[in-house]
Amino acid sequence: MYLEQSEEQRMLHESLDKAMKKILTPEYLRRIDKDGVYPYEAYDAWVELGLTGCGIPMSYGGLGGDIEDLVLISEALAAWSYDVSTALTVPLFTGMTLLRCGREEQKLALLPQLASGKIRMSVCISEPDAGSDVSAIKTKAVKDGDTWILNGQKIWVTAAGARDTVLQIYAKTDPSVSAKNGLSVFLIPNTTPGIECRKLEMLGRRAAGSYEIFMQDVRVHESAVLGQVNCGWEYLLSGLQVERAITSAGYVGAAQKVVDLAAEYAKTRKQFGQPVGEFQAIAHMLADMQTDVDAARLLAYRAARHLSRGQSALREVSMAKLFGSETYIKIANQGMQILGAYGYSLETEMQRHFRDARSTTIGAGSSQMQRNAIASLMGLASRPARRADS
């Protein structure tokens, strides 16, 4: 896939575009963004296309495929809306953690439901006092017979309040040791008694939404622990690499759409008797924009290639995440400049990209943290970096 799509991938891309054209109309996208409504109609279409089973082996009811396929789906879908794309990519990469780290009975129980669209998944790591520094997680789970009782709070969790969502919640299970040895992951439906999800007002990414989650005496059976108790740190690190590779491809798809919109506008908008795209200032800006997006795409594909070969790819993923997110922001800013006042109007798509893009150097690990990780792999200790790879 490094540079060219296979025939199967090309066909998938085409059917996705065809289905999305009917659902993700400009009016629909404007409405769900404005009102903060989850894109259930789009999700149903993804289920029909089998996309919710992508990356899940056929033996668990999925479509098969690997990270490279997920990356292509993420890129294709984000061209419609980065926000909407996360309604699919978050369950997909969260499902990959279950596939990689779950016990066999958990995979048999949950992966077919995820593939068939019966359930969704969201990942709950961040807390009010634990952002870049995940080791500061305070949510705790205490064993009581064959159950665990969870108390704590999560924040900024994407799409946590959507119907039928199973939350992957990181909690401290051994307070006597550091998070590296005392963190576990719980699989808990968002309707479980004691859980309250509250949607937050955000600048962008308003349809899938960001949620605050309150947990008060949430009692779950011990079978809700993903994989093994106290192995959460290991699951987190490998999960973040997959998450970042997939989201980086989303930045690329969305940024490419911005370039296409801006180029189209520049060819048709006339001032001083000529298309504005014939002014060198605008033409060169567009040439730089396309070059940046192509570079971001290559980094995202390289990261996916490494991961699909089963290699750890901290360097490749961190670079793809860093460059992809910063490119999306830069391109959305330039795209808005090219569209002039039209780009700033809430009636056009450009301002949504501008708002959605702004989150991408923060969410899934900030740009500063990606630079810390890259620098530390170059032998440059950047302090403090207790979680250099997060």
Report the interface residues with ligand FAD, using CB under 6 A. 122-126, 131-132, 156-158, 205, 210, 359, 362-366, 368-369, 372, 384-385
Compare residues 56 and 157 and give the one whose CB is closer to ligand FAD: 157
Angle, nearest 10°, between helix axes 82-101 and 40-49?
50
Compare residues 13 and 199 and give the one whose CB is closer to ligand FAD: 199
Cα 132 to chain centroid distance, Å, stands at: 16
Q: How far is the CB of 364 from ligand FAD (least distance, A)?
A: 6
Q: How far apart are CA 366 and CA 153, in angstroms?
A: 21
Q: How far apart are CA 107 and CA 127, in angstroms?
A: 27
- Measured from the Cβ of residue 154, the count of other Cβ atoms closer than 10 Å reads 27
- Give the position of tokens 């899940």: 56
Compare residues 71 and 121 and give the one whose CB is closer to ligand FAD: 121
Q: How far is the CB of 128 from ligand FAD (least distance, A)?
A: 8
Q: Strands 120-124 and 165-172: what pairing?
A: parallel
Compare residues 65 and 239 and give the one whose CB is closer to ligand FAD: 239
Q: How far apart are CA 316 and CA 301, in angstroms?
A: 9
Q: How far is the CB of 162 from ligand FAD (least distance, A)?
A: 12
Residue nearest to ligand FAD according to CB distances in the complex = 131
Compare residues 124 and 320 and give the one whose CB is closer to ligand FAD: 124
Q: How far is the CB of 20 from ligand FAD (least distance, A)?
A: 22
Compare residues 78 and 124 and give the one whose CB is closer to ligand FAD: 124
Record the tokens describing residue 326, joined without a space.
Answer: 């910063």
Instruction: Of 198, 123, 196, give the one whose Cα is nearest residue 166.
Output: 123
Q: How far apart are CA 171 and CA 320, in angstroms?
A: 29
Q: How far is the CB of 87 from ligand FAD (least distance, A)?
A: 12
Q: How far is the CB of 34 from ligand FAD (least distance, A)?
A: 17
- Give the position of tokens 């056009």: 348
- Measured from the Cβ of residue 383, the count of other Cβ atoms closer than 10 Å reads 8
